[in-house]
Amino acid sequence: MSDELFEQMKQSVIDGEVEDAERLAKEGLDAGIAPGEILDKGFVKGIEEVGDLFGKGEFFLPELVQGAEAMKAAVAVLQPALDASKEGRKTLGKAVAGTVAGDIHEIGKTIVCSMLSAAGFEVTDVGCDVPVETFVEKVKETDCDLLLLSALLTTTMPNQQKTIEALKAAGLRDGVKVMIGGAPTTRAWADEIGADGYAEDAIEAVATAKSILGVA
Ligand code: B12
């Protein structure tokens, strides 16, 4: 039963059907499936497939955009349930997250924020295409424990490094742990630029965040 529902969720993103995605997200919640599971087993599979088809030249930009719209609509429906799952728990730490300058890919970063928030972190999502200076300001302003930098383009990955350098220059680097992620990034890249953590997906991001902050 839920396998069929997950399959329909995946398909709604491949087809770029915003209304179907919203309806299926609601159906999943009504069926008592955890919002994180709905994301992972249903909608995320769809956007991954869209990416593969785009990579193979079988999908073009309009399909990519439409798939992303359906994905975002599903995340918006699931967000209150993700938020509710953390109610009443003490915060595990403060985090600031965003996608680096020049990069408007926000779906993965938003899912990471949702999962961290559901796990009990207090997350400030500063959005996408975020200038280095804004990250530095937000770290100062929020006095956060963790900064998460997402990059989905090989051309914007260097902005993760620039942000870490800017934190050092502002004397803030020692007070905050930095985690990086995004499809083209790797653990080796994280090590090269001096990040404290790297994760391949949102589930691993939560485990890594807990581990580097010692709140596991
Ligand atoms: C959706 C999408 C778009 C949407 C984005 C919509 C939005 N609002 O976010 C739109 C249509 C706008 C778009 C535009 C472009 N895109 Co695009 N896009 C994608 C696509 C299909 C999926 C990305 C996605 O959302 N994945 C789903 C999420 C759940 O996965 P994720 O982002 O990887 O995130 C997970 C992990 O990486 C990790 N994670 C992510 N961030 C972080 C951060 C931290 C700290 C941690 C720990 C973990 C973590 O956890 C997440 C959840 O599990 C990818 C293909 C792909 N396979 O990645 C191409 C892709 C990234 N795009 C690509 C390109 C080329 C572009 C464009 C340049 C196209 C163009 N010609 O205009 C523009 C760039 C615009 C810009 N300046 O940013 C290329 C990049 C190639 C490269 N080597 O750099 C890709 C790989 C497609 C391809 N196969 O060629 N895109």
Helix (H) and strand (E) counts in the chain: 10, 5
Asked whether the predicted pLDDT for residue 93 surpasses 70, the reply is yes
Model confidence over 109-149: pLDDT tens digits? Answer: 988 887 787 677 899 999 999 999 999 999 999 999 999 99
pLDDT for the residue 72? 86
Region of 182 on the Ramachandran plot (φ > 0 left; ψ -120 to 50 alpha; else beta): left
Which residues fall within 8 angstroms of residue 112, CB to CB, at 6 or more apart? 97, 148, 150, 181, 199, 202, 205
Query: What is the tens place of the pLDDT at every residue in 1-19?
Result: 689 999 999 999 999 999 9
Residue 108 CA: which ligand 1 atom is closest?
A: 34
| Phi and psi angles of residue 158, each rounded to the nearest 5 degrees, phi first | -60, -20
pLDDT digits over 152-199, tens only? Answer: 999 999 999 999 999 999 999 999 999 999 999 999 999 999 999 999
Residue 72 near residue 108 (C-beta atoms within 8 A): no
Please give the structure tokens belonging to residue 101.
Answer: 């300058």
Q: How many CB atoms lie within 10 A of CB 216?
A: 11
Q: Residue 202 corresponds to which tokens in the numbers above?
A: 């949102």
Among 37, 152, 178, say which to mutate for ligand 1: greatest number of ligand atoms within 8 Å of CB.
152
Second-level CATH architecture of 94-213: 3-Layer(aba) Sandwich (3.40)
DSSP three-state, residue 158: helix
Percent residues over pLDDT 90 in the chain: 70
pLDDT at 19: 98
Q: What is the DSSP letter of 20?
A: H
Write down the pLDDT at residue 99: 98
Verify whether ligand 1 is closer than 6 Å to residue 154 (CB atom).
Answer: yes
Nearest-atom number in ligand 1 for the CA of 148 is 45
Q: What distances in angstroms separate CA 51 from CA 26, 63, 125, 148, one per listed residue?
A: 25, 10, 24, 23
Reported CATH class of domain 2-84: mainly alpha
* pLDDT of amino acid 87: 62
Assigned token pair, 134: 């804004």
Q: 47 in ligand 1 pocket by Cβ < 6 Å? A: yes
| pLDDT for residue 62 is more than 90 | no
Q: How confident is the model at residue 68 (pLDDT cuts 50, 70, 90)?
A: confident
Q: Return the domain boundaries, the chain.
A: 2-84, 94-213
pLDDT at residue 145, rounded to an integer: 97
pLDDT at 111: 83
Q: CA 91, 105, 35: angle at the middle one, nearest 5?
A: 45
Task: List, in order, residues 6 or more apart from 121 with CB less than 8 Å away.
Answer: 91, 92, 93, 94, 95, 146, 209
The mean pLDDT value for 187-214 works out to: 94
Indicate the average pLDDT of the chain.
Answer: 92
pLDDT score recorded for residue 88: 61
In this prediction, residues 78-88 reach a mean pLDDT of 78
